Amino acid sequence: MGFKCGIVGLPNVGKSTLFNALTQTAAAQAANYPFCTIEPNVGDVAVPDARLTTLAGIAGSGQIIPTRLTFVDIAGLVRGASKGEGLGNQFLANIRECDAIAHVVRCFEDGDVTHVEGKISPVDDIEIIETELMLADLESLEKRATALEKKLRTLDKEGKDTLELMQRALVLLRDGKPARFAEVKADERKLFDMLGLMTAKPVLYVCNVEESSAKEGNSLSAQVFARAAEEGAKAVVVSAKIESEIAVLPEEEQREYLDAIDLEEPGLNRVIRAGYELLDLATYFTVGPKEARAWTITKGTKAPAAAGVIHSDFEKGFIRSETIAYADYVQYKGESGSRDAGRLRLEGKEYVVQDGDVLHFRFAN
Ligand SMILES: Nc1ncnc2c1ncn2[C@@H]1O[C@H](COP(=O)(O)OP(=O)(O)OP(=O)(O)O)[C@@H](O)[C@H]1O
Ligand SMILES: [Mg+2]
């Protein structure tokens, strides 16, 4: 399936630099001029998960295979983008295709790096981007809602529900608020997501700071954190430039570098994990002598569909899932210990897979 996190922000704030660090390449051209990126860059990133190492250690697995998350490096947006300014609004389509937004905000002072607005002001920057996304959502939604209203009498239940959700989002957008503020019940969620609104997507603010603030952040990132807290959004601090330099070093040198700037792990890991959490995902594991592997599902997925992530045959022929909770697997030192302790459960088709479950699927061909 592949979940996608779109990297969004003003031009020249460090989006491609972050993307390169995340994907450990220099594939995306990062340079000190606005609108450097035109075509979106797409890359898969391993999701760091310490549990996987623990499981592999217990089972003596030969290989560790983390699950992956896709990041998309998108062209910079400017004031007026929704009306075709800058690189125009064709790039909004790249954002619509993503499941969540990593919004990179410039929180570093550097006279040599141009800021398109001429001053460093993260909250103003956030508002520029958010405004453009809201205007674009508003415009597209108004058109679609008007079209539906015209044929109101012929609408089926789904059509009427869709129109009602559109109107709910329109009230917010007209009031200058993002559509993700809408109250949406669990059984309405699918239809609401199908509206494809950019401001309905969950947002992670990525505060791009200078190297010396990579650990604690600075006064600018603090403003972003305050803003995120107001909206119930998440924020992380990272120094994209330094991370992109660390990412291409050999492993031992990476460790030395991180120690030197007093970081326990690359700041990127925080970005990836936060992106993963944003998408409301869960991880389950398959563990054996050959490999310990992590798999991604949406929270609430039942066992057969979870099995289908590995192979469609597993889903079609699903019989049951031998299930051990992560904590049990660790406490009872593996599968046989867990079985002896009565901690290996046989779960059927209705079982909702939990984050951390170690699973073994039984299926018929
Ligand atoms: N934390 C940082 N500190 C100092 N300079 C940085 C930092 N992060 C990125 N830069 C510099 O900012 C410049 C712009 O970076 P980058 O090309 O990644 O921006 P972008 O957001 O992708 O721009 P565009 O929208 O034009 O594609 C580069 O020169 C990069 O080295
Ligand atoms: Mg770029």
**Per residue in 291-330, pLDDT tens?**
999 999 999 999 999 999 999 999 999 999 999 999 999 9
Lowest mean pLDDT among 48-52, 75-79, 126-130, 136-140: 75-79
Ligand 1: centre distance to CA 77 (Å): 14
Ligand 1, pocket-test mutation among 8, 10, 17, most atoms within 8 A of CB: 17
Please state, in angstroms and rounded to a whole number, the distance separating the CA atoms of residues 235 and 67: 23
Between strands 100-106 and 68-73, the pairing is unpaired
Please say whether the beta carbons of 206 and 102 come within 8 A.
yes
pLDDT at 89: 64
pLDDT at 118: 85
Ligand 1: centre distance to CA 36 (Å): 9
Per the annotation, binding residues for ATP are 12-17
Token pair 């058109």 is found at 143
Please say whether the beta carbons of 257 and 30 come within 8 A.
no
Please say whether the beta carbons of 198 and 93 come within 8 A.
no
Between strands 68-73 and 203-208, the pairing is unpaired
User: Which domains does the chain possess?
Assistant: 4-278 (3.40.50.300), 300-363 (3.10.20.30)
Q: How far is CA 310 from CA 55, 115, 304, 323, 357, in A?
A: 19, 45, 10, 16, 15
Start-to-end Cα distance in the chain: 23
Ligand 1, pocket-test mutation among 7, 10, 16, 213, most atoms within 8 A of CB: 16
pLDDT category at 41 given cuts 50, 70, 90 is confident
Query: Does 1 have pLDDT greater than 60?
Result: no
pLDDT at 241: 93
Please state, in angstroms and rounded to a whole number, the distance separating the CA atoms of residues 55 and 250: 25
Ligand 1: centre distance to CA 333 (Å): 46
Name the residue among 49, 41, 42 with its Cα closest to residue 70: 42
Please say whether the beta carbons of 349 and 316 come within 8 A.
no
pLDDT at 317: 95
Ligand 2: centre distance to CA 6 (Å): 12
pLDDT at 83: 77
Sheet holding 68-73, edge to edge: 41-46, 68-73, 4-8, 100-106, 203-208, 234-238
pLDDT, tens only, 197-206: 999 999 999 9
Mean pLDDT to the nearest integer, 22-45: 78
- 3 state SS of 329: helix
Please say whether the beta carbons of 42 and 17 come within 8 A.
no
Please state, in angstroms and rounded to a whole number, the distance separating the CA atoms of residues 343 and 341: 5
pLDDT, tens only, 196-236: 999 999 999 999 999 999 999 999 999 999 999 998 899 99
pLDDT category at 27 given cuts 50, 70, 90 is low
pLDDT, tens only, 258-288: 998 888 888 899 999 999 999 989 999 999 9
Please say whether the beta carbons of 39 and 74 come within 8 A.
no
Ligand 2: centre distance to CA 134 (Å): 22
Atom from ligand 1 closest to the CA of residue 104: 21
pLDDT, tens only, 130-176: 999 999 999 999 999 999 999 988 999 999 999 999 999 999 999 99
Q: How many other C-beta atoms are found inside a 10 Å radius of the C-beta of residue 112?
A: 5
- 3 state SS of 279: coil
Instruction: Identify any residues that bridge with 106 across adjacent strands, giving them in sequence order.
Output: 208
pLDDT at 26: 63
pLDDT, tens only, 164-199: 999 999 999 999 999 999 999 999 999 999 999 999
Which ligand has the nearest atom to the CA of 32?
1
Q: Which residues line ligand 1 (CB under 6 A)?
A: 9, 11-17, 30-32, 34-37, 75-76, 108, 110, 113, 208-210, 239-241
pLDDT, tens only, 340-357: 999 999 999 999 999 999
Atom from ligand 1 closest to the CA of residue 31: 17
Q: Which residues, at least 6 apart from 63, have a Cβ–Cβ distance to it below 8 Å?
A: 56, 290, 291, 292
